[in-house]
Structure 1
Amino acid sequence: MNNGFWTVVGFTAKNKLRGKAFLITTIIIAIIMSIGINLPYIISKFSGEGKPTAVGYAAVAAEQSQSQLFTPARIADSLGKYYAAQEKPELKLVPIADAGSAEANEKALKRAVADGAVDGYVAFAPDPAGGGFPAVTYKSESLMESKVSQSLTTALQAVKMDAVINGGGLSDELKTLLTKPIQFDTVQISTAEGAGSIGTGKTKEQQAMDMVTVYVILFMLFMAIMISGQMIASEITAEKSSRVMEILITSVAPLKAMFGKILGMFLVVLTQLAVYIVVIVINMTLPQNADKLGDLGISLDKIDPVLLVYAILFFLTGFFLFATLFAAVGSIVSRTEDLGQAVLPITMLSLAGFYICMFGGLNAPGSMLIKVSSFIPFFSPYAMVVRLGLSDPPIWQVWLSIAVLVVTILASGWLSAKIYRAGVLMYGKKPSMKELFKAMRAYR
């Protein structure tokens, strides 16, 4: 490679990096990403989600009969103790003074909601069969209160079990044994170590980090292909339409120009992705996000280095495969108006690989669809990353997928180079396959 190649690389990279559109787009996307990552925290601050939801109930007098386990008064009292014992309670039980009758209590509870004293209230209806747990209804002005409903369901189930245990005459040892949480964990194992598998067994925390890594790599690869592909194709088409290409190829060979533009755009996209990664890491290390990630067992020090190396390898090969195809298509289009339709098939290939993995692979990484896709060059950069992160493919399958991908890159690079060399000087309407084939044969 002579200086002409690096001149194209430097010119392409500098021209894009210094462009106002690139800078503004990068900043806007970084801001959107920051807002998206911190959106739950922002919403909680403005909506008061950090505070427990106030739930009212009618504070009727406790029944005198000790034979009844499930009276409204006892249930409400137990619910209050249940939430008071939590470090960060989701709900807070607020008693509303007894008004003397069921109808009057209902009006008092509605008045409390209207005045903002409570967010909603619970009402108890006797068990039709008698003696059983009463029917509980949560009432509020909001249409859907799934969070409150789920919390109350869990709490009522715990209250019911506690009442049955305490009222059943069980010994303290049996009560402790019955209420003691079970020990349960998940570990990903490797069953093909002798055959040369990638994994050796992963804990739940490592699996969670692998899932995050797979998500990030899939999105980064998809963004890189979409951003760089459009830029490469549009750059070449714009140079053709402005006749700059005629001047360019007099000083730089067509092949060097094509690969120089691809490498230059790769540096641009790499810079953009680096900015996004820094933004993500900074936002994830903020206290409100770091605490939640810590609760899920997600930490940067748990990233699997083997997965990361393979993910980067598939990222690079996938990028250059699609980049050569976008360059070839851009070289045969003379008008930027026709570019969108011309690159649509390549865009659909990338979209297909991305959607197959996002909506099929993440839930079933060992499915036949993902296994087959991991050997199809246009899908393997996505599919094999999913298999590496969420399952345990044999090492020979991984390297076979890489070999197929490399061979496809070489073949597409050779074909794209011939198309580019022939197409950059073909102006006017989009050339037919016959015309393009003749022009390619002329450049043997």
Structure 2
Amino acid sequence: MSKFLATFSQTYLSKVRAKSFMISTAIIVLLIFVGANFDKIINIFDSSEEITTLNVESEDAFYAQFEAVMEPIETDFDIAQNDGEIGDTEALLRVDGMEPLAVTLEADQEIPGSQMNDIEMALGQVQRMMTIQSLNLTQAEAERLNASPDITYDIAGQDGGDGEASESAAEAGEMPDINPLNTVVFYVTVIVMFFIIINYASQIGTEVAMEKTSRVIEMIVSSVAPVTHLLAKISAMISVSLTQLAIFIVAILIAIQLFDFSEIISDFGLEANNQTVTMITYSVIFLILGLILYLSIAAMLGSFISRMEDLQQALLPVTMFSLIGFYIAIFNIWGSADSLLVRISSYFPLFTPFVMPLRAMHEETGQAPLLIGVAILLVSIILAILLAASIYRNSVLSTSNGIFKNLKRIKKE
């Protein structure tokens, strides 16, 4: 145990003290704080000053309609009838014509885009109201203008009665209603996992391969068992990646405590729903298990080679499978979480860390598939570590050139 801890601590400390680790961590933390103040940074570069009052020059009937439409819109300026003067932070909305509606918006400074959008949206609603009135439409006829079409889906392969088939077909044909906050959690999980896997898989493969190619391993195995040495290396690299991940999470929590996210939350609708806690919990679980699985496989592949020139070739499966899993998850987020591709790939161990968080976004997935995914990863991690230890023990002192030559020799043994 003491030899394991010695190798573990030496590898762990050398990695966390490396300049590359510190610089990359500092850059990501900086980006987190920049993202937390994104709206404030935009305002710094936005030279336009918000207006405080919108004066309306029109007939009383139009003003009453416009004021009623603007009332439910959460604006940061007041509405008033024109008093003949425009202040420095005021704007004038002058109605030039009623049928069709024509207006002129005057101001002495540039109006921010958010305020312009509020005014344009309100004018559009007033225009629709005036059109309905001019056509003398009844309430029922007016409601028909905004009614959605009644679509019945008759799709082959749908089971159940007429009502159930129609409902499930509609669900298959319509775009899913995805919570924006859950979407952000999913994207962050998948992107962070992909880049950490690519980074640390290369590092642990290099760490293992460099010892073999430099023949330092001959001195190491004289005092430490090869399997103990490899497991210490794998544990240390996994701990380094989790340390960096923990720093990112702490930075996010600090940013949440220090900065006001109310404006960003309101602008993007980032509100939690019933699935958010489940989504975050399983995302963290699959992120950690995915890192452990891929880093264990990278250590196993690094054990095959005896020359540094073969390292990239050996690590190609890690890059390829992680990239495929990443694309399957990203390109199916707006599709059905119950599609055949998503369901099959979510149970394939190398794709599970990427695809299962996608299925966790949807309530219809249930707990059973998610727990099965966790079990698959745990079993895969155990098998990968055992296989890596076996390969490393049999090839640690090998000088054979080429991956396939080492593989044939190991199979014979």
User: Same-fold call, TM > 0.5?
Assistant: yes
Residue by residue, what CA displacement relative to the aligned partner does 1:13-68 show, whole Å, maximum 9, x if unpaired?
A: 111112222112211221122213322321123214672599999x7xx79xxxxx
Q: 2:38 maps to what in 1? A: 39
Q: Deviations over 1:226-272 (max 9, x none)?
A: 23212211212232333322222222222222221111111111111
Structure with max Cα Rg = 1
Deviations 1:129-158 (A, max 9, x none): xx8424779999xxxx98677545422222
- Kindly indicate whether residue 127 of structure 2 is the aligned counterpart of residue 156 of structure 1: no
Partner of 2:352: 380
Match of residue 439 from structure 1: 410
Q: Does 1:319 align with 2:306?
A: no
**Residues 396-419 of structure 1 deviation map (CA, whole Å, 9 limit, x = unaligned):** 433433343333333333332233
Report the secondary structure of 1:258's partner residue. Answer: helix
| Structure 2 match to 1:258 | 230
How far apart, in 2, do the equivalents of 1:241 and 1:89 lie? 67
Residue type at the aligned position of 1:345: P
Task: Give the 5 Å matches for 1:85-96.
Answer: 87-89=74-76
1:392 match: secondary structure? helix
CA contact (8 A) 2:205 2:302 kept: yes
Give secondary structure in 2 for the equivalent of 1:288.
coil
Corresponding residue of 2:203 = 231
Match of 2:23 in 1: 24
Letter matched to residue 218 of structure 1: V
Give 1:133's aligned amino acid. P
Q: Which amino acid in 2 is paired with 1:436?
A: L
**Same amino acid, percent of matched pairs:** 28
Name the residue aligned to 2:390: 418
In the TM superposition, 1:382-401 aligns within 5 A as 382-401=354-373
Could you say which residue in structure 1 is the equivalent of 2:153? none
Q: Distance in 2 between matches of 1:354 and 1:341?
A: 20
1:14 equivalenced with 2:1 (yes/no): no
User: Is the Cα contact below 8 Å between 1:255 and 1:420 reproduced in 2?
Assistant: yes
One-letter amino acid of the counterpart of residue 123, structure 2: L
Contact 1:34 1:283 in 2 (8 A): yes
SS of the residue 1:361 aligns to: coil
Does the aligned pair in 2 maintain the 1:8–1:260 contact within 8 Å?
yes
| Paired AA for residue 247 in structure 1 | M
Q: Measure the CA separation in 2 of the matches of 1:398 and 1:119.
A: 55
Contact 1:237 1:333 in 2 (8 A): yes
* Change in 2 beyond 3 A, CA 1:121/1:436: farther
Q: Residue in 1 aligned with 2:301?
A: 329
SS in 2 for 1:332: coil
User: What CA deviation, in whole Å up to 9, does each residue of 1:392-440 have, x standing for no partner?
Assistant: 3244433433343333333333332233233433347x42414432135
Report SS of the residue matched to 1:298.
coil
Do the aligned residues in 2 keep the contact of 1:41 with 1:288 (CA within 8 Å)? no
Q: Distance in 2 between matches of 1:383 and 1:302?
A: 20
Q: Aligned in 2, Cα 1:87/1:375: closer, same or farther, shift over 3 Å?
A: closer
Distance 1:395 1:160, change over 3 A: closer
Distance in 2 of aligned mates of 1:47 and 1:166: 40
Instruction: State TM-score, norm by structure 1.
Output: 0.67
* RMSD, aligned α-carbons: 4.7
CA distance in 2, matches of 1:370, 1:401: 13
What does 1:21-420 align with in structure 2 at a 5 Å threshold? Answer: 21-48=20-47, 51-52=50-51, 87-89=74-76, 132-134=99-101, 151-163=118-130, 207=179, 209-293=181-265, 296=269, 298=271, 306-336=278-308, 338-361=310-333, 363-420=335-392
Distance 2:94 2:300 in 1: 67
Paired residue for 2:174? none
Measured against aligned partners, the alpha-carbon deviations of 1:174-233 in whole angstroms (never above 9, x if no partner) come to 8xx99xxxxxxxxxxxxxxxxxxxxxxxxxx99555444433432343243223212211
Query: Is the CA contact (8 Å cut-off) linking 1:331 and 1:423 kept in structure 2?
Result: yes
- 8 Å CA contact 1:366, 1:391 repeated in 2: no
State how many pairs are aligned: 375
Compare 227-236 and 305-314 and name the one that shifted more.
Answer: 305-314
Question: 1:371 offset after TM fit, Å?
Answer: 1.0
Report if the CA contact (8 A) 2:303-2:396 is conserved: yes
Contact 2:349 2:377 in 1 (8 A): yes
Q: 225-234 or 267-276: which moved more?
A: 225-234
Structure 2 letter corresponding to 1:35 = V
Give 1:330's aligned amino acid. G
| Matched residue, 1:190 | none
Unaligned runs of 5+ residues in structure 1 are 64-72, 98-115, 179-204
Q: 1:306 to 1:165 in 2, by over 3 A?
A: closer
Structure 1 residue 10: Cα displacement: 1.5
Q: What displacement does 1:331 show?
A: 2.4
- Given that residues 200 and 237 in structure 2 are in contact (C-alpha distance below 8 angstroms), is that contact kept between their aligned partners in structure 1? yes
Q: State the secondary structure of the residue aligned to 1:320.
A: helix
- CA–CA separation in structure 1 for the residues paired with 2:205 and 2:52: 54
Aligned partners of 1:287 and 1:359: how far apart in 2?
32
Question: Which runs of no fewer than 5 residues in structure 2 stay unpaired?
Answer: 144-176
Q: Distance in 2 between matches of 1:303 and 1:268?
A: 31
Letter in 1 for 2:243: T
